[in-house]
Amino acid sequence: MRVLIVGAGVSGITSAINVKRTYPNDDVLVIEHLDKPLKKILATGNGKCNFGNAALDINRYSNPLFVEPILKEYDFKKQMDFYDSISIKYKLFGELAYPMSESAVSVRNALLNECKKLGIKINLSESIIDYKVGKEIEVKTDKNIYKVDKLVFAAGGCSQKNLGSDGSVFTLLKKHGYDIVPPLPGLCPIKTKERMKVLDGVRAKSLVSLYKDGKLIHEEAGEVLFRDHGLSGIVIMNISSFIARDLNKKYEIQIDQLPDTSIEELKKYLSDKGKEMYLQSLFHPKMIEYIQNNLLEPIKASKELSFHFEELDSFEHSQVTIGGLNVKEATDKLESKKEKNVYFLGEMLNIDGPCGGYNLMWAVGSALYVK
């Protein structure tokens, strides 16, 4: 059998390895429009490559019912077994799994070494233009025409175009009649209606609450990074994905800057010390200036510092794409319902998860699932 995989990211390369191991006589080719494979994985976990989560919660994905059977079959243990099979050992920081080397370069090199060992060909700087499904699948690129038995799309979404995900394959799939959920940036900073130049660069470990049309929909603890135009930090990036999944609503972000201290304790402290001492003892000088400039009441600023969502940051500053191929277009085997022997992996589908290994586990799990 001849298999062509579009995209040399982690899902595409893992798929190539999986197919070649399962069917050693198959002819497996990966095409990649960039000049290097596996560029995006190098940015994962700030270069340390958080590739797994031992406490994965399926319900934190969009479309969890679609994800569940795949990541139950290829769960944390099986994915770590896959990495072990390419000579990558892992270690845990809490529930987060990283390579023992704490280097994404190690993971990239191990994947590429396995491709070389198995005789998998990777054509770089080559882009798909179109394809036609018949008794066999004819794939036209900007350099060649291939006739294959199976076509696998693993081209990613729209996030971080310089690392390979430019969304161009979605345009091609639309031409073939597929329903594409409009892509939006996910796991990205957000811009708020409030401007806070004075706070730029301030960090605060907080409990963050997201309200949609006045109703609480998510709470998460983590470090918030204040920027002059909005908010960032892992907890904010996770919140951005909730917003992107239902963008046409009004969102308010409330930040509890002192989550371990009760309102009653703060009221007593304010009464005992006075406003000036209260602020000086609890907050960064820039935060004090922001509170005073905006005439904020000290207790409310401590427990319910409020910001209103204006817009998502750009795809260039996002880690994942919200949207993509509607999961209704794929079978439970990740094969197209429209076109036989056409498959979709990873971020091609309208599936995303929070920070913490979720999106890499979906990329690898979906790749191992398709044989």
Q: Give the mean pLDDT of 89-110.
A: 97
| Least-confidence region, from 49-58, 163-172, 178-187, 324-333 | 163-172
Q: Where are the alpha helices (DSSP H) in the chain?
A: 10-22, 64-73, 76-85, 104-118, 168-175, 234-245, 263-273, 275-282, 285-293, 298-303, 358-369
Give me the amino acid identity at 6: V
3-state secondary structure of 154: coil
The string of pLDDT tens digits covering residues 34-72 is: 999 999 998 887 889 999 999 999 999 999 999 999 999
Per-residue pLDDT at 92: 97
β-pair type (150-153, 342-344): parallel
* pTM: predicted TM-score of the whole model, two decimal places: 0.94
